[in-house]
Amino acid sequence: MDLVLITGMSGSGKSVALHALEDAGYYCVDNLPPELLAPFIALQKQQKAARVAIAIDVRSGVSLPLVPQQLNALRHDAGVALRSLFLDATTDALLRRYSETRRRHPLSRQEGRLDVPERERALVQAIELERELLTDLRDGADVIDTSLIRPAQLRTYIKALIGAPQRQLTLVFQSFAFKRGLPLDADYVFDVRMLPNPHYVAALRPLTGRDAPVADWLRSQEPVARMVEDIEGFLKHWLDALADDHRSYVTVAIGCTGGQHRSVFLVEQLARAFGGRWAALTRHRELDTE
């Protein structure tokens, strides 16, 4: 059975992720009580279900501490291939979403009876408590930072992850713009803002690092070649150790000023370099639209 566990912060996009999995042919269950996880999996095995997705989060209340131990047992179950995805977002992003939707946080009790400043403070406290309660679920999961991505991007990312080969280390190479903040889901971050910038070449400015003229220009720059070589060398040295440590996913983030040229080019280069041995996915936070 291909089992995907969706968990994470309230307001981070778990419903979007679950709908993406449903579209991909998974039988989906939202907010399954942890006490029912083992019986539910046994029932799905009996029915020979091939693809199942379950969402469990802080709404489980006092039963939430049961989940890490249950997941550990499932990881040793030969009949289950488990993927655990944790959706995260910055506190500012979550505050903005709750403000826009007017929904109440599951750990809030009195938001509706407080004035705006006090209600915001209560919401921040609820978010901080939720982060603490979900720490054990975040550890060991593939983290997706949804702070700055649209629902369509999240759906694409989810489908790419579940399409990667199981029982194999998956590398996620992600480009981003420093001016829009660091991605929360990165295991390694490389800053390439010191490299020659195509932005200052008029003919290249409207293009991206995926376009041939920009790629050719960057390949001709000696510092760019050195940077690619250095990052490749670091990853080649440590990837086997990460795989031996039973890591399922490693996210490598490459950042430049605008997330349009240099970081995009390096992500494409690295994905090609490592795609022969490992499952290598690409994300371009500032470019991806679907």
Same domain, 86 and 133: yes
If we measure between CA atoms, which residue out of 98, 157, 143 comes closest to residue 124? 98
Same domain, 78 and 183: no
Contacts of 267 (CB under 8 A, 6+ apart): 173, 174, 175, 209, 254, 282, 283, 284
Domain residues for the domain of 175 are 170-284
Same domain, 234 and 263: yes
Boundary (domain end) residue, out of 163, 197, 225: 163
**pLDDT of res. 54:** 96
**pLDDT of res. 245:** 79
Q: What is the CATH number of the domain that holds 69?
A: 3.40.50.300
Phi, psi of 176 (to 5 degrees): -160, 165
**pLDDT of res. 113:** 53
Same domain, 92 and 65: yes
Boundary (domain end) residue, out of 163, 196, 212: 163
Residue 114 has pLDDT above 80, yes or no: no
Domain presence at residue 82: yes
Same domain, 142 and 185: no
Same domain, 213 and 263: yes
Same domain, 209 and 192: yes
Same domain, 130 and 21: yes
Domain presence at residue 71: yes
Same domain, 181 and 150: no
Residue 290 has pLDDT above 60, yes or no: no
CA dist 234 and 270 (Å) reads 12
CA dist 139 and 134 (Å) reads 9
Burial code of 11-40, b = ≥16 C-beta within 10 A, e = fewer? bbbbebbbbbbeebebebbeeeebeebeee
Burial code of 46-60, b = ≥16 C-beta within 10 A, e = fewer? eeeeebbbbbbbbeb
Which tens digits make up the pLDDT trace of 37-88?
A: 999 999 999 999 999 999 999 988 888 999 999 998 998 888 899 999 999 9
Q: Which DSSP symbol is given to 184? A: T
Residue pair 171/269 in contact by the 8 Å Cβ criterion: no
Domain presence at residue 110: yes
**pLDDT of res. 18:** 95
Which tens digits make up the pLDDT trace of 133-167?
A: 999 999 878 899 999 999 999 999 998 888 877 66
Domain presence at residue 137: yes
Q: What is the mean pLDDT of the chain?
A: 91
For Cα atoms 184, 193, 171, give the angle at the middle one, nearest 5 degrees: 45
Same domain, 15 and 99: yes
Boundary (domain end) residue, out of 109, 128, 163: 163
| Number of domains forming the structure of the chain | 2
Same domain, 202 and 263: yes
Domain presence at residue 290: no
**pLDDT of res. 182:** 93
Domain presence at residue 75: yes
**pLDDT of res. 86:** 95
Same domain, 56 and 138: yes
Domain presence at residue 107: yes
Which tens digits make up the pLDDT trace of 85-108?
A: 999 999 999 999 988 888 888 887
Residue 3 has pLDDT above 60, yes or no: yes
Domain presence at residue 231: yes
**pLDDT of res. 244:** 84
Token readout for 245 is: 């440590």
Better-scored residue on pLDDT, 171 or 244: 171
Per-residue pLDDT band for 246 (boundaries 50, 70, 90) equals confident
Residue pair 254/241 in contact by the 8 Å Cβ criterion: no
**pLDDT of res. 37:** 93
Q: What's the predicted TM-score (pTM) here? A: 0.80
